[in-house]
A and B are shown apart, each in its own frame.
Chain A
Amino acid sequence: MTEYLIRRAVQSVLVLFLVSVISFALMHAAPGGPLMVMLPKGGSQQAILAQEKNAGLLDPMPIQYLHWLGQLLHGNLGYTYKNHVPVGQILWPTVGNTLILMGVAWVLSLLIAIPWGIYNSTRTYGISDNISTVLAYLGFAMPAFWFGILLQEFLSLDLNWFPLSDMYSMNKQGNIGDLIWHLILPVCVLVLVFLASYLKYSRASMLEVLHMDYVRTARAKGAPEKHVIYRHALRNALIPIITVLGLDLPNLVSGAALTENVFNWPGMGRLFVEMAFAREYAVLMAITMLGAVFVVIGNLLADILYAIVDPRVQLGKKGGTAA
């Protein structure tokens, strides 16, 4: 196990390195630059060049990359071109805000989707199952931002039940009740998006398992139906669900750009869009790398959970067959 974790860690570092090289190159290859955006329109070409030289933007790209990497290894994410603010100072608060929004939506949708999917798998094509199918279609087909705008229109502008946007009301920074109040609409949007796939996954996975011979064996032993479903079937049905959850984990930090923009939520997604327009390379790189770290962690967690749930999977041993 320890050996396995060490090997995975080494692999992860390699993956992160490659991600950083590629995204760095792509970002710098895109036309335009931070100073072009920042300086007033009609500024002279010379002024831009001078500023760029100052900011190290005229160095060859490998040099720029190594400089960035060196700083990163010293724990320094860099500074924005505009106002020279440390990246961490603007990034970390948005990470927290995004995690609050996405975490609540994610956990909530799991709490709804897994039990509901199980229930539907035992009563296929019943009323509940059909409702969940319609919901899933909506979640898949309806653009999240549009659903967000609809909710704003009806529930907050017309009925005035919920705040239109932002994370807190004026002068109520840090008030939990106010935060929950503001969370409701964006969480609704995200839950619908998550539910769409999770409902389908949990139902399908459960249905498949319910037809297995060992489920019949459990019934033949005289196990009560609850026991059959929640002990014998669910444990097996969870295995494929874990994969999906592992792959979705990175979404927790990066997935909500549109929703955050619609609801003016001060999160990472919104920051990324803003910074992309401003060509703030350092911020963009920091967000990209954070996303990559989450991808790596998500995959590792999924693999470890696999081994816990499915005894046939043995980490770091050859011949362990994944189900």
Chain B
Amino acid sequence: MAEPILEIRNLKTGFVTESGIVKALDGVSITIEKGQVVCLVGESGSGKSVTSLNVMRLSDYDGGIVLEGEILFHGEDLVKKSQEDMRKIRGSKIAMIFQEPMNALNPVFTVGDQIAETLRLHKGMSKEEAQRKAVEMLRKVGIPEPEIRAKQYPHEMSGGMCQRVVIAMALVCRPELVIADEPTTALDVTVQAQILDLLRELQSELHTSILLITHDMGVAAEMADRIAVMYAGTIVEEGTVEEIFSQPHHPYTIGLLNSIPGFEGQRGTELYTIKGSIPSLANLPTGCRFHPRCPFATDKCRAEEPSLLEIGSGRRAACWYAEEVALKAKEQGAVIVSGKGE
């Protein structure tokens, strides 16, 4: 087993508000090894983005606090680091790619300047050298005529171009870990595919580890080595991409897989949805947090909360009936085995 580059252990966080602390994460554990792509999937509000912002310690600026747990980066706990120490890590060792590229770039600076800034901050390069490197990086992320583009402003570019710029900005210092928070959500489908291809290319070239956050199982199937499924602030299932898609052990994972619209479905048939909606951490149901929406729920589920247990090597699920659920899913054949999304 390769050495883990990032290890999140039982992370519990919240936000300080006027009416007290609002919980956001309720025990998240993820391990990312060198060169691995780990996907964090789950619906909106499950805490995916909060997890990523906590790793960067950017949630501090929105009133976020870590209540419990540790975030080990090369064995060093990021939770204990000062913002000044984090600043040196951000952009150089851990970089982030954001959801909406048009908003993620500063409208009043040229894209070349914005990429060069990262280099000047961390590598202490001269202005000219950083600019030259920025142009080189723009070429690498597939932007035609990078010399001209570098002098342009974000509003002069398309969404896909902007995301390439954001990726260039994130990778220019060759970080060991890249956190990509829904990098393709704001883009149209063909551009999505290009951006994912680009990410994968750069990943294999630079041997970067990626924590990819997405709500799209198709994207996860395409990109991930491992998948962690998140629900209401905690991880409910974890495994390799094949395991998750071929033998899901948690009813929520099954629900997510069933929600992927396929080509086979007849027009007019309703798309599958998981009934109900995600609970807020302020009033979690008793027992298993998924039981109100779970078709398999029993009295035990309503009373006691299952913990995330090892059900195989590197394979974990938080369900009292993980084995039975997996079998049932197989029988019904409800699971889409082929992982290819789009």
A→B interface (CB under 8 Å): 212-214, 216-225, 227, 232, 235-236, 309-312, 321, 323
Contact = CB atoms under 8 A, between A and B. Distances in A.
A219 B61 contact: yes
A220 B108 contact: no
A311 B157 CA distance: 13
B58 A220 contact: yes
12 contacts: A216-B58, A216-B98, A217-B96, A217-B166, A219-B61, A220-B96, A222-B91, A223-B87, A223-B91, A223-B117, A235-B108, A323-B107
B107 A310 contact: yes
B88 interface: yes
Given A217-B106, A235-B106, A311-B153, 10 more contacts: A212-B103, A214-B107, A217-B105, A220-B95, A221-B91, A222-B91, A232-B106, A236-B106, A309-B108, A321-B155
B108 A213 contact: no
Interface in B118-164: 118, 121-122, 153, 155
Contact of A222 (B87, B100, B106, B109): B87
Nearest to B53: A216
Contacts of B104: 213-214, 216-217
B56 interface: yes
A312 B90 contact: no
A219 B121 CA distance: 11
B281 interface: no
Contacts of B153: 311-312
A221 B155 contact: no
B247 interface: no
Contacts of B89: 222
A232 B106 CA distance: 7
Nearest to B84: A224
> Quick one: which of A216, A217, A223 has the most chain B CB within 10 A?
A217
A38 B106 CA distance: 64
B169 interface: yes
Main secondary structure of the interface of A (DSSP, over half): helix
A312 B155 contact: yes
Contacts of B121: 221-223, 227
A222 B108 contact: no
B205 to A, nearest CB: 21
A214 B99 CA distance: 11
A125 to B, nearest CB: 10
Q: Which 6 A-B pairs have the closest CB atoms?
A: A222-B91, A213-B103, A222-B90, A221-B91, A214-B106, A220-B96
Nearest to A235: B108
A221 B118 contact: yes
A312 to B, nearest CB: 5
Nearest to A210: B61
B118 A311 contact: no
Contact of B87 (A216, A224, A309, A311): A224
Contacts of A312: 107, 153, 155
A219 B98 CA distance: 12
> Quick one: which of B98, B108, B110 has the most chain A CB within 10 A?
B108
Contact of B90 (A221, A236, A323): A221
B98 A311 contact: no
Contacts of B100: 213
B92 interface: yes
Contacts of B155: 311-312, 321
Contacts of B96: 217, 220
Contacts of B110: 311
> Quick one: which of A220, A225, A227, A236 has the most chain B CB within 10 A?
A220
A222 B107 contact: no
A208 B277 CA distance: 31
A196 to B, nearest CB: 27
Nearest to B103: A213
A52 B103 CA distance: 67
Contacts of B56: 220
Contacts of B91: 220-223
B300 to A, nearest CB: 43
A235 B100 CA distance: 21
A309 B56 CA distance: 31
B98 A217 contact: yes
A312 B106 CA distance: 11
Contact of A236 (B61, B108, B166): B108
Contacts of B105: 214, 217
A227 B109 CA distance: 14
